[in-house]
C-alpha cells in the first residue's frame, strides 16, 4: 500500500512592537533577567491587561497580506495550563474569535529544488487562522547547579500564531511555505523574523494515510524546530517513522514530539492535549470589541508590494528569468539592492547573476549582511557596465569586486590604478597564443587528436601570459584558428 503525508504548520511570529501585548513593559531583546516586568505581565492580583493597539494593527497587516478574513468582532480567551514560565497559570490567547480567519498564501514550489525551469509554479496553501496571543517566559536550566531560573522578560510579548491548513504534501513544500511566509513578514516589517532570537518559531503537524483514504491519519506535533532546514528534516523523519509503523500494523499515538538535531530523530515529549484540556474561557478582563472597517481599510492602505507581486514586476519590467526573480525577491534587502543596481544602469540579467552569485558569496565569505557591504548598488552597476562593454573579463571583474569590497573604491578607479583593462588587441593575443602553442606541444597534439578538453590548458596558458587580461572569446577564436581546426 502507498502512503502519503499530510502536513500543516503553526508559525509563531513575534510582532515588532515597542511594548508588550497587555502592558507597557519593553520588548527589547537581551536585557538582564526579569528587568522588563510589571504587575500585569507577572500576573499579580488586581492588575488589569490593556490591549496594545500597535500589536493589533500589525496582526491585521499580516491577516490582509495572507488574504484572511479580518474579524469584525474580537475576543480574547484564557488558555489554562500550569507551567513555571507562565505566572498567571493561563495564557491570554484567542480561541473562537481570532483577529484573522480563513485566508491563503500562494507559494512557488519549485525553487527549493534547485531546478532552473522557466515559469513559476504556484501552489495555494490555505491559512486556517492567525490569532494574537502573549508569549510565555523562559526557563533557564543550563549552568545552574540546583534548580532552574525563570526569566519573565519574554512573558507577555505579542505573538501572532499563523496556522496553515493541512495542505502541504512534502517536506520540501513545507520549506517553501516557510520561506514564502518569512519573506512576506519581512516585507510587511511586522517582525525581525530572527529564528535564533526566537522571534520566528515553527511547529509541524504531520500525519500519514493510505493514498486512497480520505480520512486523515493520527497527527503528531513536532516542536523544537529552530530552522527551516530542521523543519524539513524532522518532517521527513516523521513521515518515514509513521509509514513504517503503519506498514508494520502499529497504531500511531497522537502526541507531541521533539526534534533531536544531533541524532536526526524525533522523540516523544508528551501525549498531545486536545483543546478542551486547556479549558478555554473568555478573558473577563478584556471585553469583546468591534473592529471598525475603517481601521482595517487604513491598515490595508499601508500594505507594501509583496514578494510574489514584486517577482512578477521584475519579470515584466526587467525581463529577467522567472526563477531568478523569485529567488531574488525572497530577501527584501537583496531585492532592493538588485533593483537599485538596475536603476543605476546595470544590465538586469547580469545584475541578477552578480547579486545572486558573486555578491552573496562575498557576503558569506565576510560573514556580513548586505547593509554592511562596502560595495554600493551604484558601484556594482559600474563594475557590471565594464563587463558588459568588454573592458573587463568575468574573471578579472570578480577580483575587482573583492578589491572594491576591501577598499570601497569604484571599479573604474581600480581598473585604472592596476591597468586591468581587458586586452582585445588581436596582435597581442596572437603573440601570447603562439607562445602557448610552442610551450605546450602535448596539449596541442591531444587537441589535434580530437580531445576538446586540451584546449582548456592552452587557453589557461594564454591567460597566464597576459596576466588574465586577454578577452577569452578572442583567445579561443585565435587559438582554434592557429591550431588549424574548427571546434564545431
Ligand atoms: Zn509588564
For the chain, give every domain's residue range.
3-296, 331-418, 426-483
pLDDT greater than 80 at residue 457: yes
Contact 64, 301 (CB under 8 A): no
**Average pLDDT estimate for 83-105:** 96
**Average pLDDT estimate for 55-63:** 98
Q: Where is average pLDDT lowest: 90-94, 166-170, 416-420?
A: 416-420
Largest CA distance in the chain: 95
How far apart are the CA of 154 and the centre of ligand 1, in A? 10
How far apart are the CA of 25 and the centre of ligand 1, in A? 4
pLDDT at 5: 96
pLDDT at 113: 41
How far apart are the CA of 79 and the centre of ligand 1, in A? 19
- More confidently predicted of 326 and 205: 205
**Average pLDDT estimate for 343-367:** 92
**Average pLDDT estimate for 338-367:** 93
Residue of 186, 100, 201, 213 lying closest to 154 (CA atoms): 201
pLDDT at 114: 43
The pLDDT-based confidence of 322 (bands split at 50, 70, 90) is confident
pLDDT at 110: 65
pLDDT at 486: 46
How far apart are the CA of 14 and the centre of ligand 1, in A? 16
| Phi–psi pair at 57, nearest 5 degrees | -65, -35
How far apart are the CA of 88 and the centre of ligand 1, in A? 12
Show the DSSP H helices in 90-189 as ranges: 171-188
The pLDDT-based confidence of 488 (bands split at 50, 70, 90) is very low
List, for residues 182-203, the tens digit of each pLDDT value: 999 999 999 999 988 889 999 9
pLDDT at 115: 46
**Average pLDDT estimate for 440-446:** 90
What percent of the chain lies above the pLDDT cut of 70? 95
How far is the C-alpha of 483 from the C-alpha of 479, rounded, in Å?
6
List, for residues 229-243, the tens digit of each pLDDT value: 999 999 999 999 999
How far apart are the CA of 27 and the centre of ligand 1, in A? 9
How far apart are the CA of 274 and the centre of ligand 1, in A? 30
List, for residues 398-409, the tens digit of each pLDDT value: 999 999 999 989
Tell me how many degrees the CA angle 324-325-329 measures, rounded to the nearest 5: 115
pTM for the complete prediction? 0.82
State the pairing for strand pair 122-134/158-164: antiparallel
pLDDT at 102: 98
pLDDT at 120: 64
**Average pLDDT estimate for 8-24:** 97
Q: Which three cell numbers stand for residue 413?
A: 578607479
Q: Where is average pLDDT lowest: 41-55, 271-285, 371-385?
A: 271-285
How far apart are the CA of 137 and the centre of ligand 1, in A? 12
Task: State the Cα torsion 468-470-474-476 to the nearest 10°.
Answer: -30
How far apart are the CA of 42 and the centre of ligand 1, in A? 7
- More confidently predicted of 471 and 65: 65
Q: Where is average pLDDT lowest: 158-162, 287-291, 392-396?
A: 392-396
How far apart are the CA of 437 and the centre of ligand 1, in A? 79
How far apart are the CA of 90 and the centre of ligand 1, in A? 15
pLDDT at 487: 45
How far apart are the CA of 28 and the centre of ligand 1, in A? 12
- More confidently predicted of 403 and 420: 403
Q: Where is average pLDDT lowest: 38-52, 325-339, 463-477?
A: 463-477
**Average pLDDT estimate for 388-403:** 86
pLDDT greater than 80 at residue 163: yes
The pLDDT-based confidence of 119 (bands split at 50, 70, 90) is low
How far apart are the CA of 34 and the centre of ligand 1, in A? 10
Does 426-483 carry CATH code 1.10.10.10?
Answer: no
How far apart are the CA of 26 and the centre of ligand 1, in A? 8
Task: State the Cα torsion 234-237-239-241 to the nearest 10°.
Answer: -130
What residues contact residue 61 under an 8 Å CB cut-off, 6+ apart?
188, 190, 299, 302, 303
**Average pLDDT estimate for 140-146:** 86
- More confidently predicted of 63 and 192: 63
How far apart are the CA of 157 and the centre of ligand 1, in A? 9
How far apart are the CA of 18 and the centre of ligand 1, in A? 12
How far apart are the CA of 35 and the centre of ligand 1, in A? 10
Looking at beta carbons, which pairs linking 32-38 to residues 24 or more positions away fall under 8 Å? 33/140, 33/149, 33/151, 33/153, 34/151, 34/152, 34/153, 35/153, 36/152, 36/153, 37/152, 37/153, 37/155
The pLDDT-based confidence of 142 (bands split at 50, 70, 90) is confident
How far apart are the CA of 195 and the centre of ligand 1, in A? 23
pLDDT greater than 90 at residue 418: no
The pLDDT-based confidence of 419 (bands split at 50, 70, 90) is confident
How far apart are the CA of 22 and the centre of ligand 1, in A? 7
Specify the residue for cell string 478584556. 286
Contact 33, 153 (CB under 8 A): yes
How far apart are the CA of 276 and the centre of ligand 1, in A? 28
- More confidently predicted of 160 and 477: 160
- More confidently predicted of 486 and 470: 470
How far apart are the CA of 20 and the centre of ligand 1, in A? 7
pLDDT at 485: 54
- More confidently predicted of 447 and 285: 285
Contact 476, 459 (CB under 8 A): yes
How far apart are the CA of 1 and the centre of ligand 1, in A? 55
pLDDT greater than 90 at residue 257: yes
How far apart are the CA of 160 and the centre of ligand 1, in A? 18
Show the DSSP H helices in 286-440 as ranges: 293-301, 307-318, 322-329, 332-343, 348-353, 360-366, 377-389, 394-407, 411-418, 426-439
Amino acid at each position: 500500500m502507498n502512503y502519503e503525508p499530510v502536513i500543516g504548520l503553526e508559525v509563531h511570529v513575534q510582532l515588532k512592537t515597542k511594548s508588550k501585548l497587555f502592558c507597557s513593559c519593553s520588548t527589547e531583546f537581551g536585557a538582564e533577567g526579569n528587568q522588563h516586568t510589571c504587575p500585569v505581565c507577572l500576573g499579580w492580583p488586581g492588575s488589569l491587561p490593556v490591549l496594545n493597539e500597535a500589536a493589533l494593527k500589525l496582526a491585521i497587516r499580516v491577516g490582509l497580506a495572507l488574504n484572511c478574513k479580518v474579524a469584525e468582532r474580537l475576543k480574547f480567551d484564557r488558555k489554562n495550563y500550569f507551567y513555571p514560565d507562565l505566572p498567571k497559570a493561563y495564557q491570554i490567547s484567542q480561541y473562537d474569535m481570532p483577529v484573522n480567519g480563513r485566508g491563503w498564501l500562494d507559494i512557488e514550489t519549485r525553487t527549493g529544488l534547485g531546478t532552473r525551469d522557466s515559469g513559476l509554479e504556484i501552489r495555494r496553501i490555505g491559512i486556517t487562522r492567525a490569532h494574537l496571543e502573549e508569549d510565555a517566559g523562559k526557563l533557564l536550566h543550563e549552568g545552574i547547579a540546583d534548580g532552574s531560573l525563570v526569566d519573565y522578560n519574554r512573558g507577555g510579548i505579542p505573538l501572532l500564531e499563523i496556522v496553515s491548513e493541512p495542505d502541504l504534501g512534502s517536506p520540501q513544500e513545507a520549506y517553501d511555505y516557510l520561506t514564502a511566509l518569512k519573506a512576506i513578514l519581512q516585507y510587511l516589517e511586522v517582525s525581525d523574523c530572527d529564528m535564533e532570537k526566537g522571534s520566528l518559531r515553527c511547529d509541524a503537524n504531520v500525519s500519514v494515510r493510505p493514498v486512497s483514504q480520505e480520512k486523515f491519519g493520527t497527527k503528531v506535533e513536532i516542536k523544537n524546530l529552530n530552522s527551516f532546514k530542521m523543519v524539513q528534516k524532522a518532517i521527513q523523519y516523521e513521515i518515514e517513522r509513521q509509514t513504517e509503523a503503519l506498514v508494520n500494523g502499529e497504531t500511531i499515538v497522537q502526541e507531541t514530539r521533539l526534534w533531536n538535531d544531533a541524532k536526526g530523530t524525533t522523540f516523544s515529549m508528551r501525549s498531545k492535549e486536545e483543546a478542551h484540556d486547556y479549558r478555554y474561557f473568555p478573558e473577563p478582563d478584556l471585553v469583546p470589541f468591534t473592529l471598525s472597517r475603517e481601521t482595517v481599510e487604513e491598515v490595508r492602505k499601508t500594505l507594501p508590494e509583496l514578494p510574489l507581486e514584486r517577482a512578477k514586476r521584475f519579470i515584466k519590467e526587467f525581463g529577467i528569468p522567472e526563477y531568478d526573480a523569485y529567488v531574488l525577491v525572497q530577501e527584501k534587502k537583496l531585492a532592493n539592492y538588485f533593483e537599485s543596481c538596475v536603476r543605476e544602469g546595470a544590465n538586469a540579467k547580469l545584475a541578477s547573476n552578480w547579486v545572486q552569485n558573486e555578491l552573496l558569496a562575498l557576503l558569506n565569505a565576510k560573514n556580513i549582511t548586505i547593509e554592511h557591504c562596502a560595495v554600493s548598488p551604484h558601484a556594482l552597476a559600474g563594475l557590471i557596465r565594464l563587463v558588459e562593454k568588454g573592458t573587463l573579463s568575468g574573471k578579472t571583474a570578480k577580483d575587482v569586486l573583492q578589491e572594491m569590497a576591501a577598499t570601497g573604491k569604484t571599479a573604474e578607479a581600480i581598473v585604472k590604478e592596476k591597468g586591468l583593462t581587458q586586452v582585445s588587441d588581436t596582435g597581442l593575443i596572437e603573440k601570447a597564443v603562439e607562445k602557448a602553442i610552442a610551450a605546450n606541444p602535448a596539449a596541442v597534439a591531444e587537441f589535434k587528436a580530437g580531445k576538446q578538453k586540451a584546449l582548456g590548458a592552452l587557453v589557461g596558458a594564454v591567460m597566464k601570459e597576459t596576466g588574465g587580461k586577454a578577452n577569452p572569446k578572442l583567445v579561443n577564436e585565435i587559438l582554434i584558428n592557429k591550431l588549424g581546426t574548427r571546434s564545431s
